[in-house]
Structure 1
Amino acid sequence: MQLPSFAKPVRISRSQVMWKMAKAALDKDRPVLVQIVVTRRCNLACGYCYEYDKVSKPVPLAELKARVDALRKLKAVFVTLNGGEPLLHPHIAELVRYIADSGMVPMINTNGHVLKAPLIKRLNEAGLFGMQLSCDSLEDNEVTEKSMRRLRPKLELLREHARFMVRVNGVLGSGNPAEMEEVANIVVGFGFGFQCSLMRDSQGQALPLSEEALQAYLRIRAMKGRLPHVLHDNFQLPLARGESKNWKCRAGARHFEVDGAGLVHLCQPKTGSPAKALLDYSVEDIRAQFDCGKSCSARCPIAYAHLGSRLDGFRSQQSARA
């Protein structure tokens, strides 16, 4: 089936994004990064993931647009579409376009396995700013199906057709550390950014790396062109060594997650809090969460939590609740 083109393609420049971030830095009531679940359905079944199923229907487009409208009123900067596998949503490009037309910056987290050239081109036209893909190993194993063998043809398509930023994330600890190094080398060789995430326990806390994995991680960090400096993952260094990090998490304010039912959660590991409908979420809620410390922050490996909180390290915050 041929996908229809948008009448007028949208292009969001990096300078526009930097301007939006500069304005957000001056206004602490604005969310920086919001993740929206568009479907729980996924085409894979990775052993460490519990954010998917095989049967859920996609969230109706009208409901998703209403949530985007609510985020526009809150003046959010980035809106990331999540799953499950978000590219399985039949109206994903239209939703990307709606986010861009609303003045926000659309992003997608995906395993990338359903990507084809027509879809990439339609996402270009819709105004997609960035895509993060997942790859944990060279071949499928008992823990992950996010392998380079499956992803490599998709990276070739992206290199040829994508006009948006592309980054690949791998979970270190889900496979052989040497394989993760090779995955990183392949990704950087394509000209894309590569980020290493840490495995988490059942509470969402970072698991320390073995000595072998730690050395592989340090070598990956040293790779030229791995990540733009603004997206650096220095926060992971103490966590990888089994240590803690002292920082001010702004979950529920600068960043939060919206589930398939439209409820706001601090982040994926903290589903259930505050669990308030996005359509009712207000600046007062943002201010309360901004000022409230988070007791789970010391061993938190959630990259978007650290990225979303970077603007406000100098601002005060109350002690974390137990």
Structure 2
Amino acid sequence: MGTAMDMLRLVPRGGPAILNVSVTNHCNATCDFCNFAHDKGFVTDRRFMDADRFPEALRVMHEQAQVRFVTFMGGEPLLHKRILEMSRVARDMGVQPTLVTNGWLLPQRLEALAEAGLTTLFISVDSEDAAKHESNRGLKGVVERIRGAARRLSALGVAPVASVAMTRLIGDYAALGRFLRELGFEAVTFSYPRKAALGSSSLVYSEESTLVDMGRDELLRAFDGAEAMRAIIPVQNPRAGMEDMRRRLTGEGERYVCHAGYKYFYLDWNHELWRCEDWSSSMGPVFDFTPEKFVRDGCQACSTDCYRDASLMLHLPVAIGDAFAALREGRPAAAFRAVADGRAWGSLRAVMEQGKRIRSLAGAG
């Protein structure tokens, strides 16, 4: 498990990095807004990450890219028969694991997931209406499985967080907040609607779904609803991140850049490394990664929440790392400019706002 001292040692190098790992392209759900859905026909060759090679892949990213957090995704990651083993590998290497699941397979795995080092678990919920959620997922009865799992997770020391796609399945954000509380969730995180095709191997989009075909004004109202939910349940998307998305929608332009390719990466089931899920060219096999492949180009091409929100909160450690680099090169003025940038202090406010979340992700309770 990553320690406080380990994190402090990483500060001169821009802080820790995050790795999203899609361990399979197989899914047992039928979500209308996702092309991993097993009934859509996009996945014709079901693949599962080779767990025997995962320790070496993670070791490379731990040593070469300072990865200290890993999120297991899919498809549905609990379909991977060795996912618990992979989580323990991360834990034992000092990389804090988390996992995103639709919840169907959770009831028989809860104790094992807690033992494998997870301190936060993201469970998908699509609507304040249980029937709409189950119809979209094609998993009748999954809401009761989620309800039972969320309550047991808290007792096991694992924070259950609702992962909600911002789609037309949500009719009332306040009602959604109350529903999530009733299910036993401690917090919610929103992913923003994705219609355009992604450039990587990831299929978490749908060009055909009307659920994500939302116009500017509709999206602005959705962001207002999500923001208002903070009065009901903690929302893990930083306020500054949601404000940036509003600026994007209104044409004002975002303040914060994305650090994917430097402090955030996507690894697929073939051990192919990408700077993010939206990028069209890979960084090559993960086993060949070296710091010379870092990418820092101030990207603002997409609105993918996990990369953009995390990048915002990493802005301060990245700025401090840049200041250290400038001082080593004898450029004190550049060092001052790095830490004096207003975005660095906006990043600090976001980190303070999300203090409980960060402690939970880091395994500190």
| TM-score normalised by length of structure 2 | 0.70
TM-aligned CA distance change 1:155 to 1:185, over 3 Å: same
Query: Residues of 2 paired with 1:312 and 1:142: CA distance?
Result: 38
CA positional deviation for 1:233: 4.5
Partner of 1:274: 282
In structure 1, the residue matched to 2:149 is 157
Spell out the pairing of 1:206-285 with structure 2 (5 A cutoff). 208-210=216-218, 213-223=222-232, 225-227=233-235, 232-240=238-246, 242-243=249-250, 244-270=253-279, 272-285=280-293
1:123 match: secondary structure:
helix
Give the structure 2 partner of residue 312 of structure 1. 315
CA distance in 2, matches of 1:17, 1:181: 37
- Aligned 8 A contact 1:43 1:54 in 2: no
Which residue type is aligned with residue 285 of structure 1? K
Residue 194 (1) aligns with residue 188 (2): yes
In 1, distance between residues paired with 2:81 and 2:255?
Answer: 42
Amino acid at match of 2:229: I
Structure 1 position 192, deviation (Å):
1.3
Change (3 A) 1:237 1:144: farther
* Contact 2:266–2:274 (CA under 8 A) maintained in structure 1: yes
State the secondary structure of the residue aligned to 1:294: coil
Quote the Cα distance in structure 1 between the aligned partners of 2:285 and 2:141: 40
Q: CA deviation at 1:42?
A: 0.3
Give the superposed CA RMSD.
Answer: 3.0
For the 8 Å contact 2:114–2:158, the answer to whether it is kept is: yes
- Whole-angstrom distance in 1 between the partners of 2:291 and 2:227: 40
> Is there any run of 5+ residues in structure 1 with no aligned partner, and where?
1-11, 317-322
Q: Provide the rounded CA distance (Å) in 1 between the counterparts of 2:118 and 2:92.
A: 11
Q: TM-score, normalised by structure 1?
A: 0.78
Q: Please tell me the residue identity of whatever aligns with 2:23.
A: V
Structure 2 unmatched runs, 5+: 38-42, 199-204, 206-211, 323-337, 339-365
Residue 71 of structure 1 aligns with an amino acid whose one-letter code is M
Aligned amino acid, residue 160 of structure 1: R
1:156–1:78: structure 2 CA closer, same or farther, 3 Å change rule?
A: same
User: Conserved in 1, the CA contact under 8 Å of 2:258 and 2:300?
Assistant: no
Distance 1:302 1:214 in 2: 13
Match of 1:101 in 2: 92
| Structure with higher RCO (Cα < 8 A, 6+ apart) | 2
C-alpha contact 2:23 2:77 (8 A) present in aligned 1: yes
Which structure 2 residues correspond to residues 35-54 of structure 1 after superposition, within 5 A? 35-51=20-36, 53=43
Between Structure 1 and Structure 2, how many residues are aligned?
290
3-state SS of paired residue (1:61): coil
Structure 1 residue 247, shift from structure 2 partner: 1.3
Q: Which has the higher helix share?
A: 2
Q: Percent identity?
A: 19
Q: Highest Rg: 1 or 2?
A: 2
